[in-house]
Every structure is written in C-alpha cells, then in structure tokens.
Chains A and B, each alone.
Chain A
C-alpha cells in the first residue's frame, strides 16, 4: 500500500467515525430537548449546558493532547506525532469557538450579561488565543522539520502555561457555576440530566476523534504533495 492510499484509508475511517458521531449527536439533541426535564431555576437556557460543557471539556482535552504529543515528538522525532498534535490543536480551536459562542448565549439569560471576566471564561479565552497563535505559526514556517520542532516547543510551553493562567485568573473572583460533575463528592445533578450530559460528552469525544483522524489524513496528503512538488522542481 502506498503512503497515499494509506492516508486516503485514514481519511475514510475519519469520515465514518464523524458520520456516526453526528448521528449520535442528533440523538443527544433529541434526548436533551424532549426527554430531559427543564431546569427549575434556569429554565430552557440550561439546555445549552449539553453542548457547552462537552465542547469545553473536549477542546481543553484536545489542547492537552497537543501538548503531550509535542513532548513525545521532541523525544522521538516521528513526524506522525507532529501531524497528530497539529490536528488535535486545530480541532481544539474549532471546539473552543463553539464553547465561546454557546457560553454567552447561556450567560445572557442566566448571568444577565453576555460577557464577564470570570476566571474560567478568561482562562479558556487566553488558552484559545494561545493555540490560534500556534496554528498561525505553523503556517509561517516553510521547512516541515523546522515547523514540527517549533510547534512542539510552543505546544509544550502551552501545556506548562495553562496552570499558570488558571492560577492568575483564579486569584480574581469567579462567577462560574461550581463543578457539578468532576468533584470529590457525588455529582449534584438529577440522574436524567446527568445521563444526557455524559452521553453528550461521549458523543463529542467521538466527534473529536473523527475530526482529528480526518485532519491527520489531510496533513499526511499535504506533506506528500509538498514532497512531490519539491521533487518535480
């Protein structure tokens, strides 16, 4: 099998995973809207949680994956790791945009304001900007090896920066709802809502996997084309 065929096969797998997760996503929407009770205090606005929290979680995880893959790349210098790190960062940025759009839509009716400099809001905004910078820099480096090394350096530094940013904005007061899911005691949410939220998280993780696989295959094809053009010239 040639490299081209292999990349096309990976792209095909990514498409299948994406298609399955989009179908599942439709199912989650139906469940969230029709079969999950409306929140007593927040009303219908609370439904946004089923998109907002999963995309937020997935995008932060995507950036963490990018950082870890960057670290492994510098140790092993395998170009596939760089491609996967870049794919993860790009999907993370896309999910962050979804998070930053759904957040204010929920914030307006519940907090009474579209935007506030709340701790978690602010840190996710900065982390999003950092990884936009990461993607811009990838475009600005022509040599693929150099691009991989530079990206890895930024990815690792980003991974280390995240706790510092979080600590910085945490020293300001926070308005965000306290953790309802990932906390030491039992989740403070009715079972029906919890099932909807958890299945939504699962679906978004699957969607992430589908997107990253496709993006990875596109990067592999791009590199192949670059090599061909170098050989022809």
Chain B
C-alpha cells in the first residue's frame, strides 16, 4: 500500500475516534476532572513547612498524566468491542498495522489534549516559573507520552477481551511505564530547577531508546493480538 493511502487510512481512524469522543466527551471530561483532582490531592500530600511544592511537583505532574492517560487508553478498544466494530474494521482491505497506528494516533491526540490543559493548571497550582523552559517541558512530555501510549494501546487491545478488563490494564501497563515515567520525572525535575541540558541527557537518551524500540515492537506485535 502506498504511503499516501496508508496515511489516509490512519487519519480516517484517528478522525473517527476523535469524532466519537467529540460527540460524547465522557472520557475526556472524566480524564480532565481526574487530572485536576489528582493534581490538587497530591499538593496536600506533603508537609508544607518541610517540603516545598516544587519538590513534589515533577512527581505529581507525571502521576497525574499516567493515571489520566489510563482513562483514555481503557476506552480506546472498548469502543471497538461494542457491536463488533473491530470485526468491521478487520474486514476492510487495509493493513492491520494501519489500524494499530490509527488507534495509537487517536490515543495520542486524547492524551495530548489532557496534557495541554493540565500543564497550565500545574503551573498555576504549583506556582512554577518556567521562564522560557516550556519548550523543554513540552519535548519531554511528548517523548514520554509516545512511550506509554504505544505500549498502552497494544495492551488495551488485549485487555478489553479479558475478564476484569478495566482492572487488567493498570496491572500490566504500570511495569512498562517505569522507564519512561521515571525518566520524565527526572528530566522534569531538572527543567524546573533550571539545570543544564547535559544533566538530562542520560535520561533523554533512555527515553528516546524506549520510544524507538517500543513503537516498532508494538506495531509488530499487534497482529498477534487479533482473533483470526
């Protein structure tokens, strides 16, 4: 299949998912409310006389992103299970990998939107001054998000067909989030403290390596999760 056609298929799936979400907004609103709640609760989970809010800020931000993203990831393939929508997609003459890349694109869009709203709230709540370092924060957020959306999309494709689907995703996904989330927290802490880029490099390299390896691996493994 030519690249242009492949891209068109991927885009059609992203647009479909975005449209479904736009019409209901249930998952997005839940994820947003959830994100705000987690950000505020974690603010109070410290002794304000002993620990400054900036010390807990990186961890709080990434716990928020992780759990808010999980709400969206859980939903991604749940939609396709209803009325056998997945079977319909599998019957169309398109490459299986395009379905996966499309679903992953939809999830990326969802998580990116949640993050785009959470970051300003985070800056407001935790009284963070970024002073021109926002692009760095966006870069590391993008890198870590790609990592956990790739793994999350693949796992979500499987867990929706198991019993206790909503319970299974966090149990399976969280071990895979350790490298990207720990790296992201480490880099975020250094960005907020205004440290030089050289101090972040080992973590950024790890994150980039994880992105590349798991994006390729999840695309390759997706076909094995489909029922013949």
Which positions in B face A, CB cutoff 8 Å?
151, 154, 158-159, 161-164, 168, 171-172, 174-176, 178-179, 182-183, 186, 202-203, 206, 209-210, 213-214, 217-218, 221, 224-225, 227
Could you write out 17 A-B pairs with CB less than 8 Å apart?
A: A74-B221, A126-B175, A130-B176, A133-B175, A136-B168, A141-B163, A149-B225, A150-B158, A153-B158, A153-B224, A154-B158, A154-B172, A157-B218, A158-B175, A165-B175, A171-B186, A171-B202
Question: A137 contacts the other chain (Cβ, under 8 Å)?
Answer: yes
Contact check, B221 vs A142: say whether CB atoms are below 8 A apart. no
Contact check, B213 vs A168: say whether CB atoms are below 8 A apart. no
Interface residues of A in 129-169 (CB under 8 A from B): 129-130, 133-134, 136-137, 140-142, 146, 149-150, 152-154, 156-158, 160-161, 164-165, 167-168
Q: Which of B151, B158, B203 has the most CB of A within 10 A?
A: B158
The 4 tightest CB contacts between A and B, nearest first, are A130-B175, A140-B162, A164-B179, A168-B179
Residues of B within 8 A of A157 (CB): 151, 154, 176, 214, 217-218, 221
Contact check, A142 vs B163: say whether CB atoms are below 8 A apart. yes
Q: What's the minimum C-beta distance from B49 to chain A, rounded to whole angstroms?
A: 26
Contact check, B168 vs A171: say whether CB atoms are below 8 A apart. no
Which positions in A face B, CB cutoff 8 Å?
74, 126-127, 129-130, 133-134, 136-137, 140-142, 146, 149-150, 152-154, 156-158, 160-161, 164-165, 167-168, 171
Q: Complex formed: what's the CA distance from A171 to B207 in Å?
A: 13
Q: Which of B163, B179, B227 has the most CB of A within 10 A?
A: B179
Residues of B within 8 A of A165 (CB): 175, 178-179
Q: Complex formed: what's the CA distance from A225 to B175 in Å?
A: 34
If over half of A's interface residues share one DSSP class (helix, strand or loop), that class is named, otherwise mixed; here it is: helix
Contact check, B162 vs A141: say whether CB atoms are below 8 A apart. yes
Q: Complex formed: what's the CA distance from A123 to B213 in Å?
A: 19
Q: Which of A127, A146, A164 has the most CB of B within 10 A?
A: A164
A147: nearest chain-B partner, CB-CB: B162
Q: Complex formed: what's the CA distance from A145 to B224 in Å?
A: 11
Given known contacts A126-B178, A129-B174, A168-B183, what 17 new A-B pairs fall within 8 Å (CB)? Answer: A74-B221, A127-B175, A134-B172, A137-B159, A137-B162, A137-B172, A140-B162, A149-B224, A157-B218, A158-B175, A160-B213, A161-B175, A164-B206, A165-B178, A167-B179, A168-B178, A171-B206
Q: Complex formed: what's the CA distance from A172 to B174 in Å?
A: 19
Q: What's the minimum C-beta distance from B180 to chain A, rounded to whole angstroms?
A: 9
If over half of B's interface residues share one DSSP class (helix, strand or loop), that class is named, otherwise mixed; here it is: helix
Contact check, A146 vs B214: say whether CB atoms are below 8 A apart. no
Contact check, A129 vs B175: say whether CB atoms are below 8 A apart. yes
Q: What's the minimum C-beta distance from B174 to chain A, rounded to whole angstroms?
A: 8
Q: Complex formed: what's the CA distance from A46 to B73 in Å?
A: 47
Contact check, A140 vs B168: say whether CB atoms are below 8 A apart. yes
B158: nearest chain-A partner, CB-CB: A150
Residues of A within 8 A of B224 (CB): 74, 149, 152-153
Residues of A within 8 A of B159 (CB): 137, 140
Q: What's the minimum C-beta distance from B149 to chain A, rounded to whole angstroms?
A: 15
Contact check, A153 vs B154: say whether CB atoms are below 8 A apart. yes
CB within 8 Å for A146 and B161 given contacts A74-B224, A171-B202? yes
Contact check, B162 vs A150: say whether CB atoms are below 8 A apart. yes
B202: nearest chain-A partner, CB-CB: A171
Q: Complex formed: what's the CA distance from A150 to B214 in Å?
A: 17
A158: nearest chain-B partner, CB-CB: B175
Residues of A within 8 A of B164 (CB): 140
Among the listed A126, A153, A167, which residue makes an inter-chain contact with B225, where contact means beta carbons less than 8 Å apart?
A: A153
Q: What's the minimum C-beta distance from A37 to chain B, rounded to whole angstroms?
A: 40
Residues of A within 8 A of B162 (CB): 137, 140-141, 150
Q: Complex formed: what's the CA distance from A79 to B213 in Å?
A: 28
Among the listed A141, A154, A164, which residue makes an inter-chain contact with B161, where contact means beta carbons less than 8 Å apart?
A: A141
Q: Complex formed: what's the CA distance from A161 to B178 in Å?
A: 10
Contact check, A168 vs B225: say whether CB atoms are below 8 A apart. no
Contact check, A146 vs B179: say whether CB atoms are below 8 A apart. no
